[in-house]
Amino acid sequence: MRLLTLNGLTCGATLLLLVVLALPAKQTFDRGSRARETSATTELPRYKPAPHPRRVFGAYVDPWHADDWGRAVGAAPQAIAKFEAFSRRRTVDRYAAESRKQGIRRMLVSWEPWTPVPTALGIDAQSLPQPGYRNIDIARGAQDRYIMRFARSLARFRGTVWLRYAHEMNGYWYPWSRGARSYRWAWRRIVRLFGVAGARNVRFVWSVNANLYEPESVWLANARRYWPGTRYVDAVGSTMIDFGGRKDYAVERFAPRLRTLREQFGKPIVLAETNTEYDGRVRWLRDLRTMLRGMPWIRAVIWSQLPSRGAAHRASTSGRVDWDVQRDPRAAAQLRRIIEDGVR
């Protein structure tokens, strides 16, 4: 009898001890559960695009991830940008609809008349003429049906579309660089077709490359060969990428060419692709911000960290341009200040 009583007391004491030891663990578990429930019901911060910025800031990011980009940087882009090749034969209806859903009223479309060539094949293969997409083919109406369908798609967007057709034509790496006269003819035909389609919300961006490897006089003379005329252009664009390595371009190298574009063509300027290599990125972005303060006629800056054909073709001589500002708080802070400057 005494043995049974002793065993009962021992088991009871053991059970009580286990309960006491388990209480802190249960309280911790309960706190974690409540925190998870609170987190699930609390909305993440959302940065709304400024509706009427003095200088528009855009990013090459799809509208389904624009919120993520804004949260990472701490400010929302007011425009979304994308590349679109003629060969895909598609419109941007879904893309435009999601942009509007996200409160984004501006798009920049880099519209490329070709079938994209894998970068692994090199610049020579990439620059070869493509029948059906050549400047003369487009000027003669070979792509009219697709162009009209695309124009009607853009016309349905309840906002402004900057159409950057056949960019960097003053280089040598794209097939549409061949035949400056037919390039002008093709451009004018496209503008007229958009007028027929009623796409009054489309602004045409004639976008060159800065070609800092050329003397300015050579660069300007070559670019002028492709100029379709003042009445056919709404804004002048330029690529502004510091590739690093042999093409380590400080902001101050670009500034004189941007001023020349403004003076020579008298149109608002759009930095249609902007990026810099990883090394020195914070200083480069700080210098970009300083430059923009002195150039109010730069009406838009479009940030691009998409895979770069230029970097891929020069992988052994370029710096690292595939870093992600969303994972770089120091660089993101500089970009956020550039966005905020454009809103004030």
Q: Are 170 and 219 in contact (CB under 8 A)?
A: yes
pLDDT, residue 41, reads 44
Q: What is the 3-state secondary structure (H, E, C) of 221-234?
A: HHHHCCCCCHHHCC
* pLDDT over 60 (residue 25): no
Query: Per residue in 303-323, pLDDT tens?
Result: 999 986 665 555 556 688 989
3 state SS of 5:
helix
Residue 45 CB contacts under 8 Å (≥ 6 apart), including other chains? 71
φ, ψ of residue 307 to 5 degrees: the values are: -55, 125
For residues 258 and 245, what is the distance between their CA atoms, to the nearest angstrom?
23
Tokens of 230: 């003042």
pLDDT, residue 187, reads 98
Mean pLDDT of 94-118: 96
* pLDDT over 70 (residue 40): no
For residues 76 and 57, what is the distance between their CA atoms, to the nearest angstrom?
9
Q: How confident is the model at residue 45 (pLDDT cuts 50, 70, 90)?
A: confident
For residues 300 and 291, what is the distance between their CA atoms, to the nearest angstrom?
13
φ, ψ of residue 61 to 5 degrees: the values are: -145, 140
pLDDT, residue 71, reads 96
What is the residue whose two structure tokens read 């893309």?
95
pLDDT, residue 18, reads 45
Amino acid at 11: C
**Phi-psi label, residue 239: left if phi above 0, alpha if psi -120 to 50, beta otherwise:** beta
Length of the chain: 344
* pLDDT over 90 (residue 32): no
Residue 253 CB contacts under 8 Å (≥ 6 apart), including other chains? 212
Determine what percent of the chain falls in helix, strand and coil, rounding each to the nearest 5: 50, 15, 35
Q: Are 274 and 302 in contact (CB under 8 A)?
A: yes
For residues 176 and 56, what is the distance between their CA atoms, to the nearest angstrom?
28
Higher pLDDT, 46 or 59: 59
Q: Are 111 and 154 in contact (CB under 8 A)?
A: no
* pLDDT over 90 (residue 300): yes
Query: Per residue in 179-236, pLDDT tens?
Result: 999 999 999 999 999 999 999 999 999 999 999 999 999 999 999 999 999 999 999 9
Cβ atoms within 10 Å of 286's Cβ, excluding its own: 16
Mean pLDDT of 247-272: 97
Query: Per residue in 76-91, pLDDT tens?
Result: 999 999 999 999 999 9
For residues 332 and 282, what is the distance between their CA atoms, to the nearest angstrom?
9
Q: How confident is the model at residue 103 (pLDDT cuts 50, 70, 90)?
A: very high
Residue 174 is classified by DSSP as: S
3 state SS of 266:
coil
As a whole number, the mean pLDDT across the chain is 89
pLDDT, residue 20, reads 45
How much of the chain, in percent, has pLDDT values that exceed 90?
80
pLDDT, residue 12, reads 54
Higher pLDDT, 46 or 279: 279
Q: Please tell me the least confidently modeled range out of 4-18, 193-207, 260-274.
A: 4-18
Using alpha carbons, select from 176, 169, 111 the residue that is nearest to residue 139.
176
Q: Are 337 and 269 in contact (CB under 8 A)?
A: no
Segment holding 89, helix H or strand E: none
* pLDDT over 60 (residue 21): no
pLDDT, residue 180, reads 98
For residues 52 and 187, what is the distance between their CA atoms, to the nearest angstrom?
29
* pLDDT over 50 (residue 39): no
For residues 188 and 268, what is the distance between their CA atoms, to the nearest angstrom?
19
Q: Are 319 and 244 in contact (CB under 8 A)?
A: yes
Segment holding 332, helix H or strand E: helix 329-343
Q: Are 137 and 143 in contact (CB under 8 A)?
A: yes
